[in-house]
Chain A
Amino acid sequence: MSEALRTFFSPQILGPEIFYGSSVGLFLIGLYMILVKKNLVKIVIGLSFIESGVNLFLISLGYVWGKTAPILNKPELMKEPVKYAVDPVPQALVLTAIVIGVAVTAMALSIVIVLHDKYGTLDISKIKELKW
């Protein structure tokens, strides 16, 4: 029993699955909020949860066990950067994706404010007209 527990909690097994599992869980919670909830603000919060889940998944794909950040201010890092640093490409990708995500969220929230001024409600099942 303790042998199985030690195998389960060893770093080779425990390493990436934490981050994969939590990112998939965050993605599924955001998808549930978009599909089921009727309030518009909660739908926008679910959209930002989906963005966060995808960002966490991309970062955890670039992580290598036991290596450090790709900022070259140490002598052994300057000499052999491939041996000691993680993959820097997903980090640059996600850095752009976070900023674009904030812009998308602000755009969606401005549309929510306009809809509330027009209809007087935030319930999405009461907004039925096609033209406004």
Chain B
Amino acid sequence: MSTLVLYLALAMAILMLVGAFVVVVTKDLLVAVIASAVVDLVLAILFYILQAPDVAITQASIGAGLTTAIFVVVVRKTKRFEDD
């Protein structure tokens, strides 16, 4: 039973690293903000699997909601595309 949860954790960890790689590669700052929201979401699932429900609640509400809104406001007030 718990071994199944660990396989799920392995898949989620790989997906989190894929999202972080998308953040590194892209040139559009809005896409970087969206992919960092994905990383925070998957991180909340990992906290849940590690039996820390209060940390998972905090990470879900702050990381997936508040941080993304702050970054979107900053992208609105500055430029969207990263120029070379």
Given contacts A22-B46, A69-B52, contact A41 B74 (CB under 8 A): yes
Interface of A is mostly: helix
A82 contacts the other chain (CB 8 A): no
Contact A26 B17 (CB under 8 A): yes
Contact B58 A91 (CB under 8 A): no
Pick the contact of A56: B20, B36, B43, B82 (CB < 8 A): B43
How many chain A residues touch B (CB < 8 A): the figure is 46
Interface size class on chain B is 35 or more
Q: Which residues, 61 to 92 on A, are CB-close (under 8 Å) to B?
A: 62-63, 66-69, 71, 86, 91
Q: Which residues of B contact A (CB under 8 A)?
A: 2-3, 6, 9-10, 13, 16-17, 20-21, 23-24, 29, 32-33, 36, 39-40, 43, 46-47, 50-55, 58-59, 62-63, 66-67, 70-71, 74-75, 77-79, 82-83
Report the 10 A-B pairs with minimum CB-CB distance, sorted nearest first: A22-B13, A116-B78, A69-B51, A29-B20, A39-B82, A91-B52, A109-B74, A63-B50, A11-B3, A86-B51
